[in-house]
Amino acid sequence: MEIGLNHYLVLSTILFAIGLVGVMRRKNLLLLFFATEILLNSVNIAFAAISHFYGDLTGQMFAFFVIAIAASEVAVGLGLLIVWHKRHGNIDLDTLSTMKG
Amino acid sequence: MFEAIAFYLFAFLTISMFFIAVTTSQALYALTALAAGMIFISAFFFILGADFLGAIQIVVYSGAVMALYAFGMMFFDTTREVKEKQGNKYIVVGLSTIAAVLVVLIFAAPLVSNNITALYPVIEGAGNTQEVGMVLFTKYLIPFEVAAVMLLVAMIAGIVLAGKKMDLSITLMNDAEINEIKTEQTKKVLS
C-alpha cells in the first residue's frame, strides 16, 4: 500500500490533536511547554511531507525556522519559569491568573 | 512496502509516546516520553528524504531542548504528582470543534491544490544537505540571519533571567540589596 501525502497529514493532525489535549488539560506550566513542543513537531511533519511530495524545498526551510523558534522559546520560557518559581514556589497555571508585581 | 511498514511502525510509536507525554502524572515520565517521541519523529524526516532536517531534529530537540528541560526540572519540585486542570466544558467543546474543522480542512486541502508548482524545485544530482544549503543561503538568507539574531536574543534573555546568582534572586531584590552584595564582593577582593 502506497504511503501518500494524506497519510502524513493525518498523522500530523493526530499529533496536533494530542498536543491540543495536552494544552487543555495540563495545569503545570512545564508540562504545558511539553504540549506546545508536540504542536510544533506535528506541524514540522506536515511541512516535510508537503516538501517531499511537491518537490519543493520551501517546506523544509520553514521547518528549520520552526525548530529555531522552538529552541529560543524554550530558552526564554524556562528563564521566566525559573524566575516565577523563585517568587511563588510553584509553577501552577492558576497562580499566573494575576499579573500584579 | 518497506516505506509503509516504517511509516506505520513509527506513527504508532510516535502517537503512543506523545500520548504518554500528555497524560502521565509524573513529570519525569513525560520528559522521557517526549524525548523518545522527538527521536521517532526524525525517522519520518529520513523516510521523506529530508536527511538534514532529521539530523537537526535529533541534535536540536533531543539534545538541546530536552537537556534544557531536564536542567529546568532540577529547579522545580517535580517529584510530587502533577495536578490536573478541571477543564471548563465550553473551552473543551470549542477546541474540539476547532480540531474537527482542522481535520476536514486537511482532508479537503489536496482537492484544491492540484495546480501547485514548486517555487524552489529540488536540484537534480545534489544531496539533501547540499540542496538545503543552496536554498537557505540564497533565497532565505535574510530570514536565516534574523533567526540567528533571535537565537542570540533568546540566549541573552535566558542567561539574564536564570543565570545570575543562582542561590540569590537578583530580579526580586531592590537596588539597595544589590549594592550591598556588590560592596561585600569588593571587600572580599580587597582583603
Q: Give the best residue of B68, B76, B164 to mutate against chain A (max A CB count within 10 A).
A: B76
**Mind listing the domains of chain A with CATH numbers?**
5-97 (1.10.287.3510)
Sign of the Cα pseudo-torsion (B63, B64, B66, B72, in order): positive
pLDDT digits (tens, 9 = 90+) for B106-164: 777 766 666 666 676 766 667 778 888 888 888 889 999 999 999 999 988 888 887 66
pLDDT for the residue B79 = 61
Residue of A7, A19, A79 with shortest CB distance to B7? A7
Q: Min CA distance, A92 vs chain B (Å)?
A: 9
Give the C-alpha separation, B159 to B165, whole Å: 11
* Residues paired with residue B121 on neighbouring β-strands, in sequence order: A56
- Ordered per-residue pLDDT tens for chain A, 101 residues: 688 888 888 899 889 888 888 888 777 888 888 999 999 999 999 999 988 888 888 888 899 999 999 989 988 888 888 888 877 777 777 777 766 55
Residues of A in contact with B135 (CB under 8 A): 57-58, 61
Check B158 against A64: CB less than 8 A apart. no
Predicted TM-score (pTM) of this structure: 0.80
Three cell numbers, residue A101: 508585581
Give the C-alpha separation, B34 to B18, whole Å: 6
Three cell numbers, residue B77: 519540585
**Residue of chain A whose alpha carbon sits nearest to that of B161:** A79
pLDDT digits (tens, 9 = 90+) for B50-100: 889 999 999 988 888 888 888 878 777 666 666 665 666 777 778 778 877
Check B78 against A30: CB less than 8 A apart. yes
> Looking at this predicted complex, what is its ipTM?
0.89
A96 close contact with B: CB closer than 8 A: no
**Cβ neighbours of residue B14 under 8 Å, at least 6 residues apart?**
A11, A15, B37, B40, B41, B44
Q: Is B101 exposed, middle or buried (0-12, 13-18, 19+ CB in 10 A)?
A: exposed
Residues of B in contact with A97 (CB under 8 A): none
